[in-house]
């Protein structure tokens, strides 16, 4: 295999995690205007033309658009951390016997989030296919937490490989 066509083992699979949370409305800093201001009519007219802006608070620029979170955010003691883990085969070959193992690493312990049936559930991933799993964990300990995702698989050359990704939680 030439250098140009060689694909690194770490690039065969992409592991991504997204936190599941309640939808949130996009909130920008409200901009108010005085009705007697010289430019207030232009400002209010501009707001009325934009369908995404709220009509519930007059003379403000609050939006009704739902947004996805940019980061995991903070995880509080007693809260249930829910996330979706996606494994994507971004190679040109079929990967056999893919197994996802997930753990939460705290300051004092390592908690396995993988069930016995998940570890027995080996899946083959054809090119451009993905598998998703939903994880839930109740935070019972203060301090930093890390979500550790390890995927083991067998590539087209019959070599057993693994990919490990660590996602830090605050």
Q: What is the CATH number of the domain that holds 125?
A: 2.60.40.10
Containing structural domain, residue 129: 9-21+71-169
Same domain for 63 and 89, yes or no, is no
Q: How many structural domains does the chain have?
A: 2
- Tens of pLDDT, residue by residue over 109-158, are 999 998 656 666 788 999 999 999 999 999 998 888 899 999 999 998 99
Same domain for 94 and 139, yes or no, is yes
Same domain for 49 and 126, yes or no, is no
Same domain for 32 and 113, yes or no, is no
Same domain for 149 and 78, yes or no, is yes
Residue 10 has pLDDT above 70, yes or no: no
Query: Model pTM?
Result: 0.67
Same domain for 162 and 86, yes or no, is yes
75 pLDDT band, cuts 50/70/90, is confident
Span 72-88, average pLDDT: 86
> 31-38 — which CB contacts under 8 Å span 24+ positions?
31/60, 31/61, 32/59, 32/60, 33/59, 35/59
Same domain for 88 and 160, yes or no, is yes
Assess contact for 61 and 28: CB atoms under 8 A.
Answer: yes
Same domain for 34 and 14, yes or no, is no
Same domain for 98 and 37, yes or no, is no
Q: Is residue 109 part of a domain?
A: yes
Q: Is residue 1 part of a domain?
A: no
């Amino acid at each position: 295999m030439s250098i140009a066509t060689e694909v690194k083992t770490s690039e065969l699979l992409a592991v991504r995690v997204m936190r599941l949370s309640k939808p949130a409305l996009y909130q920008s800093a409200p901009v108010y205007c005085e009705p007697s201001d010289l430019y207030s009519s232009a400002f209010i007219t501009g707001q009325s033309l934009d369908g995404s802006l709220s009509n519930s608070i007059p003379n403000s620029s609050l939006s009704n658009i739902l947004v996805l979170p940019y980061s995991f955010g903070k995880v509080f003691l007693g809260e249930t951390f829910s996330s979706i883990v996606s494994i994507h085969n971004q190679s040109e070959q079929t990967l056999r016997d893919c197994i996802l193992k997930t753990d939460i690493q705290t300051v004092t312990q390592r908690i396995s989030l993988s069930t016995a049936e998940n570890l027995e559930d080996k899946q083959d991933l054809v090119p451009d296919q993905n598998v998703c799993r939903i994880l839930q964990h109740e935070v019972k300990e203060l301090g930093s937490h890390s979500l550790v995702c390890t995927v083991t698989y067998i590539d087209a050359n019959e070599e057993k490989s693994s990919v490990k990704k660590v996602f830090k939680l605050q």
